[in-house]
Structure 1
């Protein structure tokens, strides 16, 4: 049944592995969509799960299937606790991204764990999930999927940028929503800062103490991906095969790696944002809290950068995956061919009933 109002729990786990984001959101439609984030929380991964998720691409299909079941059960427990702690009683659906295990759209492959039908049975709720698979089957990249939310929930901004494991952007060009991954961010920064025993570089303080290695910076900036036209997307496999070997070949100190990579990220993001003049830019995601990175982006970018509330910075992706689920429930398109390269716009995801 098509309704005007939906109470949704959006669930997101990103490549930066900072935890599972959960947001209880009220969506309301009257001419345009509006939303209110009622409750939101990030549940950090235990060391055991961090270890498993960091090595997903090394597993065989059989091992992945076993992990898929375990992760789905774990996700069910996390969501159930969120519902109980926050006394949430009225839920139209739980809309979950799962966690990306494999993403090779050029081979017709994308696999997110945590999207099994048992999730609906355990939670006794309607589940909308597995949003990427159909798009890849239609010849698309399966990513990014957030731009439909940018278009319908954040239309006042010319650019919407998310700084997570990867930086991605969406914008409107000639009446069409365009989006693509820009470059890796936290997936690289967090890997190198972990060598020093930290989960992340607090406010970019360690990077700020480092020195740019211009040879490494130039090699990174000249990577083939940056000259490719959209649609295009990145995955952990690309970082493992391309980025890490390049960086490691220079044998730099961690601080110099961080400083050089921060500059690389700032250059790639500003290159994209400077293609329009007098534009407003919304930036969200955990990378916003890296104040040194933000200062470099702001220095190199010619446009006005807006940083929203802490709630939207941290939970925009959970919010939008919740919204993708609403559109799926309504039978409306939630994946745009202009963004992913699929053969048509479509309503992606699967619905599991309790």
Structure 2
């Protein structure tokens, strides 16, 4: 089988920046990969604020912002290619940035997936992976589990702790995956309110007091009782979580402690005892959160290399793009609830500029 060299590009809901990973993929008896270069390019404060506000934009303003964001993405990718002197690229595989995600209404919108991206960077682009799944009745998320299935099958569970926590595991011959609860999308917000970009190692939460009634209220949210497939978006957080947290006029540090405890409890509920769990995403650095998870359930939490913790999603979107080029399934109905397994993503070619 041909080896592939792809650039995976990901921007998550925690808004810490654009993740880029240049990866070598090869299939022998099974798929293997090697991350050759990777970095995160942070957003400017202004741009981060615009991404937060974009959920409230009019359709026309959002369309204009989509073009602005696509151009920013192109510039970022070009800089990455130049910096790492990358010459061999089969495709740039980009997730874009999710602004709207309400699959039950048939809506999912990731900006940065415009056709001009291929022309601007002069590379083949594979992008817009979620839309087709929603059209097929699926959640359009999570999409990473096909990568968990084919690249990380030695673990009982794969847990990603990003803006949201999502889990993926193999059961009865099928891949099951879903969003468990919000994580950094909430923790970062409250860390910022006490003067920090994020809660380093969970030290802030650890120093706060637990608010019993708030914790109980959060644990009783209807989403946690739903069976998968299911997924979460910013809209749900703004409707169900933030008003509850804001209703408590206690110190922000106490809210941080309570929400961290809530996350730990929700996560622990989703694992079988003594399982081997691969933990990735920014939340893997939150020592206090991991400590609280194993307080609630005995588990073997495995933190891989820094590269994999930080770039697993970019890596897997690169992989999704490679599967799309091969016209192989990259979206699983058992994960998203779509009517069938399918091969998702738009392929944009470019015209050579002379």
Q: Do both share a fold (TM > 0.5)?
A: yes
2:194–2:253 CA contact under 8 A, matched in 1: no
1:297 Cα offset (Å): 1.3
**1:319 corresponding residue in structure 2:** 315
Q: Deviations over 1:208-246 (max 9, x none)?
A: 110000100000000000000000000000000110001
Q: How does 1:56-205 map to 2 (within 5 A)?
A: 56-205=54-203
1:247 Cα offset (Å): 0.8
Q: 1:21 aligns with which of 6, 19, 22?
A: 19
**1:290 corresponding residue in structure 2:** 286
Q: How does 1:41-52 map to 2 (within 5 A)?
A: 41-52=39-50
Tell me, what secondary structure is at the counterpart of 1:335? Answer: coil
327-336 vs 249-258, greater mean Cα deviation: 249-258
Q: Deviations over 1:262-316 (max 9, x none)?
A: 000000000001xx24421111000011111111112222221111011000000
**1:349 corresponding residue in structure 2:** 345
1:4–1:30 CA contact under 8 A, matched in 2: no
Q: Distance in 2 between matches of 1:62 and 1:227?
A: 37
Q: How does 1:23-38 map to 2 (within 5 A)?
A: 23-38=21-36
Q: Does 1:11 align with 2:9?
A: yes
Structure 1 stretches lacking a partner, 5+ long: none
Structure 2 stretches lacking a partner, 5+ long: none
Q: Deviations over 1:296-342 (max 9, x none)?
A: 11222222111101100000000000000000000000000000000
Q: TM-score, normalised by structure 1?
A: 0.98
Q: Distance in 2 between matches of 1:126 and 1:213?
A: 51
Q: TM-score, normalised by structure 2?
A: 0.98
Tell me, what secondary structure is at the counterpart of 1:298? Answer: helix
Tell me, what secondary structure is at the counterpart of 2:256? Answer: helix
Q: Distance in 1 between matches of 2:124 and 2:130?
A: 19
Q: Deviations over 1:185-230 (max 9, x none)?
A: 0000111111122211111111111000010000000000000000
1:207–1:262 CA contact under 8 A, matched in 2: yes
Question: How many pairs are equivalent?
Answer: 350
**1:307 corresponding residue in structure 2:** 303
